[in-house]
Amino acid sequence: MSRRDEVLLAALDLLDEVGLDALTTRRLAARLGIQAGSLYRHFDSKRALLDAMAGHLLRGVAEDPPADDEPWEDAVRRVVSRMRAAMLSRRDGARLLTTFHGPPEIGERLVEGLVGRLVAAGRPREDAAVAVDTLLGYVNGFSIEEQEHDDLGPDARFPAGVELILAGIRGQLADSVPSTTPARPEPDDQDLGMHLRPMVHVEDMSASVTFYERLGATVLHGSRDGDWALLALGEARIGLLAHPPNPEQRGGLVELNFEATEPLDVLEARLRADGITITSPTSHASFGRQLQLTAPDGLLIKIDELAPDLYA
């Protein structure tokens, strides 16, 4: 063992006896039976001595990293648990590590090892560095509390805190994993010239209106006493007709109706230009003008231009 190592171990033993606040180079020199100035042959300042003591505590953790194939969560648990054990191995060990400035290779090896695990798991380097800082701050702070208060509680509190931090990291990882499902395109503000408005054929208009009102609908046009009503149910518009569908138009109990949001002649011209066949432009006393289209499967589609006085 070199003389420098003897001085280092003596300093750690003195730390156990007197604590960090009472650890002085004068006391250490007296313990070694030498003049205080002789210590500077091995450590050029008390700061250098404290760094060496902290590095001694961490060296075993840094030099024995988890296996490369170990899952990142298990690797993190192993490292932080060993760091805590290292801090608790000496009196005021956690406080000593808060003063740690030295050997860069030890600190970098620990921090970069953890950051690298999180980066490999999918976190951006900047986020991974923040997560590691949070973990190490927790380990150090918890260990300081443990050494200053004997009644802190059972050791289960430490792993419970680690698991909370890991849960946060795990959640970030889940958010950052690209979905294998193609993203649904966001709706834009483009007006296509028409809004979908289902038309339902009913036998009892009054009862049907009451039913939809109980669902939260309101009557926009028409009435429960007539043969037609237009309801608003949330963002949907639903038309009710008090007569059976027209079999000649291949209508069903529910028709696919659209409400024109631009002049019908403009919409008709655009649809014809796009190759859509217009079955028949018609006019209706209640609905105003209407375009009728036929889908490839034979479904009748109607596009109504409501009379101007119905646009309240």
- Non-local CB neighbours of 151 within 8 Å, separated by 6+ positions: none
pLDDT of residue 156: 66
How far apart are the C-alpha atoms of 227 and 104, rounded to whole Å?
Answer: 85
pLDDT of residue 283: 63
- Non-local CB neighbours of 58 within 8 Å, separated by 6+ positions: 83, 86, 97, 100, 106, 107, 110
In angstroms, the Cα distances linking 23 to 38, 43, 88, 97, 146 are: 17, 15, 17, 15, 20
Q: Helix (H, G, I), strand (E, B), or coil: what is residue 178?
A: coil
Q: What residue type is 116 in one-letter code?
A: G
How far apart are the C-alpha atoms of 86 and 59, rounded to whole Å?
Answer: 9
Give span(s): CATH 1.10.357.10, the chain: 45-176
As its CATH architecture, domain 194-310 has: Roll (3.10)
Asked whether 25 and 48 are in contact (CB, 8 A), the reply is: no
Q: What residue type is 156 in one-letter code?
A: A
Residue from 246, 258, 240 nearest 200 by CA: 240
pLDDT of residue 312: 38
Q: What residue type is 258 in one-letter code?
A: F
Furthest-apart CA pair in the chain: how many Å?
115
| CB atoms near residue 49 (< 10 Å) | 21
How far apart are the C-alpha atoms of 304 and 185, rounded to whole Å?
Answer: 28
HSE on the CB side for 247, CA within 13 Å? 0
How far apart are the C-alpha atoms of 230 and 212, rounded to whole Å?
Answer: 11
How far apart are the C-alpha atoms of 2 and 181, rounded to whole Å?
Answer: 63
Q: pTM for this structure?
A: 0.53
pLDDT tens for the 312 residues of the chain, in order: 889 999 999 999 999 999 999 999 999 999 999 988 888 889 988 988 998 999 899 888 888 888 888 899 999 999 999 999 999 999 999 999 887 765 557 777 888 889 999 999 888 999 999 999 999 899 989 898 888 876 555 566 888 889 989 988 888 776 655 544 444 445 455 556 667 777 778 788 888 888 677 657 788 888 888 888 888 877 778 788 887 777 666 566 666 677 777 788 888 888 788 777 787 666 655 556 888 877 665 667 788 876 544 433
> How many H helices and E strands in the chain?
10, 9
pLDDT of residue 229: 86
| CB atoms near residue 35 (< 10 Å) | 11
Give span(s): CATH 3.10.180.10, the chain: 194-310
What class, spelled out in words, does domain 45-176 have in CATH?
Answer: mainly alpha
